[in-house]
Structure 1
Amino acid sequence: MTEFLTGWIRHQRWFAGKGRPIDELTIDSDVELAPGLRHLIISVRQAGARDRYQLLLGSDADESARFKPAHIGDGYYDAAYDACLTGTLLEAMAADRDLGPLRFRHLDGVEIDTSLRSLVLGAEQSNTSLVYGDTYICKLFRRLIPGINPELEIVTALALRGTHHIAQPYGWIETDLDGEPTTLAMTQEFLSNASDGWALALASVRDLYASFEPSASEAGGDFSGESFRLGKATAQVHHELAAAFPTEVVESQEVKRMTEEFRRRLANAVAEVPELGEYAHVAEEAYQRVADVAREIHVQRVHGDYHLGQVMRTPTDWVILDFEGEPGQPIAERRALASPLRDVAGMLRSFDYAARHLLADHSDAEDLRPRAVEWAELNRSSFLAGYSAGGGHLRAEDAVLLRALELDKAAYEVVYESRNRPAWLPIPMAAFQLDR
């Protein structure tokens, strides 16, 4: 079977070792969940490093032929795509069942409807999500990192506090890896009547570009009201996170060390994308201002990867998703305390992206660029006003740190776009050219 798995796994969207030869693949754990359904934990060794992945394995030759995209070989297939088998996950969570080393659990006080059939959502990079009816979404973390997933930790804590701006958690699956309880999957409320924040923002930008109105606030797709409400929701979730988890105060000397880390990342970005060098002084000056006024900073648990694609607009309010942080980072780093302004900076960068990315191949890009800048500034200011109205701390001196955090994020984006989407490189480069 390992031969089939080796050939199959290298082509999966969520496999982190693409483009490198697989030295060895072994099966660390093989648990029967139900007749015809097994749960595997697979170790893949490449260039001396090991990554572990999980797989729901179906073993019916007829079903393997039916699920061609999930076909592995010799009658085996990825059973995440088999709705006749995946109900086992809900049933085990509802019953708090232990199956070998796997522990299925549900949140106290919730009931799980085990009659629903699943459907796999497409286009995910690092996970596989199963939607059960229009009620639950179960996220399988394909690449396994020892430790409790930050998203499970955060949403369960916020749910216990009655926080409104999250999707209700229902259950999870865990095991032990390297002696640590490790999250394999989690099930939450599926927001079937919600709209993605990125899609809503883009609709607003398209309306603006097609409008004859003189300003973004007068165009038919004005988004600033939603930006205000999103800012308010963000501040309220930050408040709940500070109440649910420990907080700390970072002294001025540590703040100065943080600015040195900003400078190091900027230098690396310039080395990889030399055209950034012309504008590096803008970031250097912003970082120096932080060091000059260095004072204590309050830090807490934050989202860690906050942007318009991580929020959903329901009929009543904004809901924040995906609290797992940057998926490629170690869990300890994703759980680390940070200034809540890190999330604010991430969302401000997202407004710039929403405003500008449609210009990448637009025939009227030069004429529309001022409108893009206006849209971004309107929604940035509305978000910040909402954040303040929601109780977010935005004192005058916080603007210095916020600007530095934005430019640190933009330096990361410059490298990312240079490697992956060169046509989008002007978007983060513009962050160093605007006077803010």
Structure 2
Amino acid sequence: MSEAVTRSVHSASTSPGLLASLDPLLREWLPRQRWFAGKGRPVTGFSLVSATEVLPPSSTPALLHLLVRAHQPLVPTQSAPTHPADCYQLLLGVREALPPRLAPALIGRPTAGPLAGLTVYEALHDPRPADVLLEALRERARIGELRFERDARQEIRGDLMPRLVTAEQSNSSIVYGDTFILKVLRRIVPGINPDLELPLALAREGCPRVPAPAGWMVADLAGDTYVLGVLQPFVRGASDGWDLALRELAKGEDFSGEARALGRATAEVHTALARALPVVTMGRAQMEPLAAAMTERLKAAVQAVPTLRPYASGLRSAFDALAELASEGRTWTAQRIHGDLHLGQCLRSPSGNASHASGGEGGWSLIDFEGEPSKSLTERRLPQPTARDVAGMLRSFDYAAHTLPRVTGWADACRAAYCSGYAEAGGLDPRTDPVLLRAYETDKAIYEVVYEARHRPDWLPVPMAAVHRLARQEPEPELS
């Protein structure tokens, strides 16, 4: 870079004009990103949380690490958030001109401020910045307020070729030589992120169903720690559970063996989490508010999607039944769980097989323990009944089945096999508590209806079919 450009980049990280320089570019670019949470609401401004010069301005490219709050108006039903705006992690490359191979990464050319006349782009598309992140993890570097940590028991080689995962994700991922995958979190909150906390806890327990973190990035700001990214072993050749289910379904193949194995894997993870982290008992004082919150979500959903109105009474009966059991003195065990479990959060190693039940090489792995992104970090870290994870997977089988409407019985067979596999490894069949399971599955289906109505209307018949079933479903007697 020229000396003038070097001075410009060097001053950018501390310049009060940095955000003013980037503002018009980010207003256009940020809402287009899959991981931007505030879609449908205008961005009214930005505020800078931190700015760090990761690659020196003398290098090509320069690399700026930013944590930026995007300010947006609240929706009418949204209460005041803990923070005034969502905070996003941005890694910005800066060059005088962008080579053609990086054209898809372009953010723009600022016309004012310290970056005026330079080209700013999404740096994760560029191998050089991606290499820098891996090297920082290898060396346990500290760069400004950024801290890079690693597990000394895992070797991180420095000659691994990076490639950005281009599939749509709620975060960003870089694969290094089919050996590691770095998940770069985009929506950042202060505190311990479950996507690091739970895999570390499972690694301490020796659970082979979840890749053990090899390294992690954090920022230490004003007394708070922000988890920025997690490096884990890459499960080479693995199939995404959703893609695998659809392939087998399209071929007319039976998936119940895989569903049973996945049930066993889920139970093994739950059992290990119960050993690693506190387990609590939930009684009337906890369960009645939980059922009431489900009922409130139903009311809001009926207002948002009037198609739900004819089913409201039947759906509410699922939550009323749960509250009634709690009022009679029934208690439930709660622990840390995955929190957002579905087929897309599972990987099937090619060296595994449907009868694999004990971990080790091959079989099913669970990934992405971040939890439901719309929930606060505090909510995501609360102990919950394992039935919530089970319900999420049962709904996922329904979704897969509805991609081929002519197929009948596939989802029911998978659901039964999954629960049976779970019982084989966990000792407790989820179907032994039909009231709790129905309540969680109903709550999930209602969430899906609202989501599909807003974002994918063509998919609305999928959760509506579940709504029709769950609204008229009478709780079965508990299995003995």
In the alignment, structure 1 residue 428 sits paired with structure 2 residue 463: yes
In 1, Cα distance between equivalents of 2:217 and 2:256: 40
The alignment partner of 1:201 has SS state of: helix
Give the conservation status (yes or no) of the 8 Å contact 1:282–1:432.
no
Aligned match for 2:214, one of 142, 147, 170:
170
Aligned match for 1:400, one of 435, 439, 446:
435
Aligned match for 2:400, one of 354, 364, 378:
354
In the alignment, structure 1 residue 140 sits paired with structure 2 residue 181: no
Residue 395 (structure 1) shift: 6.7
The structure-2 alpha-carbon separation of the partners of 1:12 and 1:414, relative to structure 1 and needing over 3 Å to count, comes to closer
In the alignment, structure 1 residue 11 sits paired with structure 2 residue 32: yes
Aligned match for 2:410, one of 375, 383, 386:
375
1:78 is matched with 122
Letter in 1 for 2:148: F
1:99 is matched with 143
Letter in 2 for 1:416: Y
The structure-2 alpha-carbon separation of the partners of 1:61 and 1:303, relative to structure 1 and needing over 3 Å to count, comes to same
Letter in 1 for 2:451: Y
Aligned match for 2:383, one of 337, 346, 354:
337
Letter in 2 for 1:108: A
The structure-2 alpha-carbon separation of the partners of 1:185 and 1:64, relative to structure 1 and needing over 3 Å to count, comes to farther
1:43 is matched with 69
In 2, Cα distance between equivalents of 1:423 and 1:392: 39
Give the conservation status (yes or no) of the 8 Å contact 1:64–1:76.
no
2:103 is matched with 68
Residue 224 (structure 1) shift: 0.5
Q: What does residue range 180-191 of structure 1 map to in structure 2 within 5 Å?
A: 180-191=224-235
Give the conservation status (yes or no) of the 8 Å contact 2:419–2:430.
no
> Residue deviations 1:210-229, cap 9 Å, x none?
xxxxxxxxxxx110000000
Give the conservation status (yes or no) of the 8 Å contact 2:125–2:163.
yes
> Residue deviations 1:186-220, cap 9 Å, x none?
11111121111111111222223xxxxxxxxxxxx
1:363 is matched with none
Residue 87 (structure 1) shift: 1.0
> Residue deviations 1:120-168, cap 9 Å, x none?
1113343111111111111111221112211100011111221110123
In the alignment, structure 1 residue 233 sits paired with structure 2 residue 233: no
Q: What does residue range 248-397 of structure 1 map to in structure 2 within 5 Å?
A: 248-294=280-326, 295-314=330-349, 315=351, 316-359=362-405, 368=406, 371-372=407-408, 374-394=409-429, 397=432
1:214 is matched with none
Residue 2 (structure 1) shift: 2.2
In 1, Cα distance between equivalents of 2:31 and 2:459: 28
The alignment partner of 2:373 has SS state of: coil
1:31 is matched with 52
Residue 281 (structure 1) shift: 2.8
Residue 64 (structure 1) shift: 5.5
Give the conservation status (yes or no) of the 8 Å contact 1:2–1:26.
no
In the alignment, structure 1 residue 193 sits paired with structure 2 residue 225: no
Structure 1, unpaired ranges of 5+: 209-220, 360-367
In the alignment, structure 1 residue 90 sits paired with structure 2 residue 134: yes
Letter in 1 for 2:85: R
The structure-2 alpha-carbon separation of the partners of 1:260 and 1:182, relative to structure 1 and needing over 3 Å to count, comes to same
Q: TM-score, normalised by structure 1?
A: 0.89
The alignment partner of 1:358 has SS state of: coil
In 2, Cα distance between equivalents of 1:268 and 1:8: 31
Letter in 2 for 1:45: H
Deviates further, 256-265 or 191-200: 256-265
Residue 236 (structure 1) shift: 0.6
Q: What does residue range 140-159 of structure 1 map to in structure 2 within 5 Å?
A: 140-159=184-203
Identity %: 44
Give the conservation status (yes or no) of the 8 Å contact 1:290–1:400.
yes
Deviates further, 302-311 or 7-16: 7-16
Alignment RMSD (CA, Å): 2.0
Letter in 1 for 2:229: A
Deviates further, 39-48 or 403-412: 39-48
> Residue deviations 1:97-128, cap 9 Å, x none?
11111000002311111211211111334311
Q: TM-score, normalised by structure 2?
A: 0.82
In 2, Cα distance between equivalents of 1:271 and 1:103: 46
